[in-house]
Structure 1
Amino acid sequence: MGTGRRGLIAAAVTAVCAVIVPAAPGTAFADPGPTPPPAAAPPPAATASDEELEAVRDELDKLYRAAAVATDEYNAAEEEARRHSAELAELARKITEGREELDRLGNRAGAAARAQYRTGGLPDEAKLVLSDDPRQFLDGTGRVLQGQRATKGLIAERNRAQQDLRTYAADASARRKGLEADREAKQAARKEVERRIAAAEELESRLEREERERLERLEREAARRAQAAWLGSGVLEGASGEASERGGKAVRFAMDQVGKPYRWGAEGPAAYDCSGLTSRAWASAGLAIPRTSQQQWEQLRHVDVGEMRPGDLIIYFPDASHVGMYVGDGMVVHAPRPGRTITVAGAGSMPVLGVVRPDAT
């Protein structure tokens, strides 16, 4: 391979490595000064070797996996923002109702206090002496005592309503702060996703068309080797689980999405990311599951790989950054990464972390 082409590929990989390891906080950057004149175009050279393309593939894998982790962070922040928004709306409703109740109790307590004041001008002894009917007086005294107790009850109820309002207001303030934190986290994750994907696209753009085609062949060959090794380990020997009713519905939904594009943060219907596909598939079967692959790994029941059945979710990579749905016969349907479409692939073509079952009893 010509030195010019080799230098171009090496420079691209080096530039991308700089994206994978961001600068330390507080790093200062000097003024780059005037833009230098464009360099002369390098002479035509031979295409990259398989070894160099393998290095490119390795860097692309790192970038897209980092983008997947940032996508999970974005999705988690989005879910938290939705939850906080719903809680804030509920608190606003409670505050409105509480204020109305406080006004009503205040009016009732005020009316009772005024009535008690109007009838309380003379001592009870004087009222008894002046009364034409002592029994009527005693009956009236009982009613007055009941009214006094009722008034005290109204005042106590009003005080409780005031305390509830203070509590709701404090909760609303905390929810607003949480919502703002969610939005900031989501924005930071969005920038990270876009940065990683842009770096990957920049690296791929340095390749000639023939090199990109060879790169895809290398990816397919690596996936085939991984799948063959996974099956050859005997991991699925004796596995014959059948899909549950809900699992079958989830599988049919996921398979109907094959060919649609991957888009990070997407939950359908035109595009999906990996966990957007699995969560929507199970939602179509009537079961809500966590939104992100990491949450699915943490919160759903784990099952042995040899016991998995169609509809179960296979979690990939040590950081649980990818997920697909098992469809049987050692295959999985998944949304791979940006630039690709939803597809069926070997379940062992990526490093398996474990299996979870959404509809486990």
Structure 2
Amino acid sequence: MSPARTRLRVLLVALVALAVTGTTTTAAYAEPSKAELTKKIEKDSEQLEDLTESYNKLNEEIKATKAAEAKVDKALAPVRAQLDAAGVEVGVLAAQAYKQGNISAATALLNGGGDVIDRLAYLQQLSRNRQRTVEAFNVTNAKFLDEQAKLHTARQRQDAQKKELDARRKVIEADVKKLLELRRQLYGSAEEPDTGGYTGKIPNISGKAGVAVRFAYNAIGTPYKWGGASSSGYDCSGLMMKAWAAAGKSLPHNAAMQYNATARISRSQLKPGDLVFYRSLGHVGIYVGDNMVIDAPRTGTRVAKRSINIMAPMGYGRVR
């Protein structure tokens, strides 16, 4: 066979082989193991829980700012009434000044650009007896207006922070949703199955702590829900808040703020009803005795009774 025919034969064999095997090679796709997938879901869920607690804290701060604004508005009511009364008095005094021939004073009182505070200076000249009232009014009014301005600035800052947290939350939620969907495709279920509520014996604990513990037991099996604080779903601090609310105690909806709102105790002092804090105050559970806590773990899980050592506790708190 000639060299040319030999080269052609080799080329044809190569082309046939290429057609059979394809033009590209692809690395084999290895599905993640259940353990690997669970670990990633837990990691991303922790990020979401941290963000959730930041979100809850900001909501508590906004709530406090709104309450402060309402308090200032209420305090300003009598000051505003005093302002209105002063306006009427200015009119009366202006008429008196006009009758007495003091045209410049009357004109200033009646045409002060609608600013009663500026015109009050003339009241000091027209009546010494009103001087203290006018000074006290000016000081009080300035104080409340300054407080209002500070609260307004705080609200603007908080609103901006909330928008930023909303954007971050949506990104992480989308990632967790993808992971849960992958888990469903691979293993048949995106979330832990609903096995119903707790059917065992609830320990008989006296006092308000007993009420909180009983609430937590009755919440077992409820789905985890970020920002949740109702029977349709709880996050970790939402469950603590509602459990102690049932006992007549008010806790903020945030693990770190709950840490600050409770009295510090040691592990050896733990009693049912005390709170156990984890992961740099990013998670919290309620102690129910026998080295067990009840908590709302993470996305895709349900409220459960678990070992106190689910992770290393970083602090303990007693509701005051």
TM-score, normalized by length of structure 1? Answer: 0.63
Judge which range, 100-109 or 338-347, deviates more.
Answer: 100-109
Question: What one-letter code is carried by the residue in structure 2 that aligns with 1:54?
Answer: A
Does the 8 Å CA contact 1:102/1:158 hold for their aligned counterparts? no
Q: State yes or no: 1:195 paired with 2:171.
A: yes
Does the 8 Å CA contact 2:180/2:300 hold for their aligned counterparts? no
Residue 140 of structure 2: which of 164, 169, 187 is its match?
A: 164
Alignment of 1:108-147 (within 5 A): none
For 2:56 and 2:94, locate their aligned partners in 1 and report how far apart those are by CA, in whole Å: 56
Does the 8 Å CA contact 1:108/1:154 hold for their aligned counterparts? no
Q: State yes or no: 1:312 paired with 2:312.
A: no
Runs of 5+ consecutive residues of structure 1 not aligned to the other structure: 10-47, 120-147, 217-241
For 2:184 and 2:272, locate their aligned partners in 1 and report how far apart those are by CA, in whole Å: 40
More relative contact order, 1 or 2 (CA 8 Å, 6+ apart): 1
For 2:231 and 2:90, locate their aligned partners in 1 and report how far apart those are by CA, in whole Å: 56
- The structural deviation recorded for 1:109 is 7.3
For 1:320 and 1:173, locate their aligned partners in 2 and report how far apart those are by CA, in whole Å: 33
Residue number in structure 2 paired with 1:4: 28
Does the 8 Å CA contact 2:221/2:304 hold for their aligned counterparts? yes
Question: What one-letter code is carried by the residue in structure 2 that aligns with 1:330?
Answer: N
For 2:239 and 2:306, locate their aligned partners in 1 and report how far apart those are by CA, in whole Å: 15
Please list the CA deviations of residues 27-68 of structure 1 after superposition, one character each: whole Å capped at 9, or x if unmatched. xxxxxxxxxxxxxxxxxxxxx3xxxx4333332222111111
For 2:281 and 2:56, locate their aligned partners in 1 and report how far apart those are by CA, in whole Å: 14
Residue number in structure 2 paired with 1:36: none
- The structural deviation recorded for 1:77 is 0.7
For 1:152 and 1:106, locate their aligned partners in 2 and report how far apart those are by CA, in whole Å: 17
Does the 8 Å CA contact 2:262/2:318 hold for their aligned counterparts? yes
For 1:207 and 1:264, locate their aligned partners in 2 and report how far apart those are by CA, in whole Å: 19
How many residue pairs match? The answer is 261
Q: State yes or no: 1:57 paired with 2:48.
A: no
- Compared with structure 1, are the counterparts of its residues 98 and 199 closer, same or farther at alpha carbon in structure 2 (3 Å cutoff)? same
- Compared with structure 1, are the counterparts of its residues 152 and 109 closer, same or farther at alpha carbon in structure 2 (3 Å cutoff)? farther
DSSP-derived class of the 1:355 partner: strand
Q: State yes or no: 1:329 paired with 2:305.
A: no
DSSP-derived class of the 1:332 partner: strand
Q: State yes or no: 1:341 paired with 2:317.
A: no
Runs of 5+ consecutive residues of structure 2 not aligned to the other structure: 1-26, 101-123, 193-203
- The structural deviation recorded for 1:151 is 4.3
Superposition CA RMSD, Å: 3.2
For 1:151 and 1:269, locate their aligned partners in 2 and report how far apart those are by CA, in whole Å: 65
For 1:184 and 1:296, locate their aligned partners in 2 and report how far apart those are by CA, in whole Å: 24
Residue number in structure 1 paired with 2:49: 68
Residue number in structure 1 paired with 2:214: 252
**What percentage of aligned pairs have identical amino acids?**
26
Residue number in structure 1 paired with 2:111: none
Q: State yes or no: 1:353 paired with 2:314.
A: yes
Does the 8 Å CA contact 1:71/1:190 hold for their aligned counterparts? no
DSSP-derived class of the 1:260 partner: coil
TM-score, normalized by length of structure 2? Answer: 0.71
DSSP-derived class of the 1:72 partner: helix
- The structural deviation recorded for 1:307 is 1.9
Residue 95 of structure 1: which of 65, 76, 80 is its match?
A: 76
Residue number in structure 1 paired with 2:264: 302
Does the 8 Å CA contact 2:272/2:286 hold for their aligned counterparts? yes
Q: State yes or no: 1:278 paired with 2:240.
A: yes
- The structural deviation recorded for 1:203 is 2.5
Does the 8 Å CA contact 1:112/1:151 hold for their aligned counterparts? no
- The structural deviation recorded for 1:117 is 10
Q: State yes or no: 1:77 paired with 2:58.
A: yes
DSSP-derived class of the 2:229 partner: coil
- The structural deviation recorded for 1:208 is 6.0
DSSP-derived class of the 1:326 partner: strand
Residue number in structure 2 paired with 1:177: 153
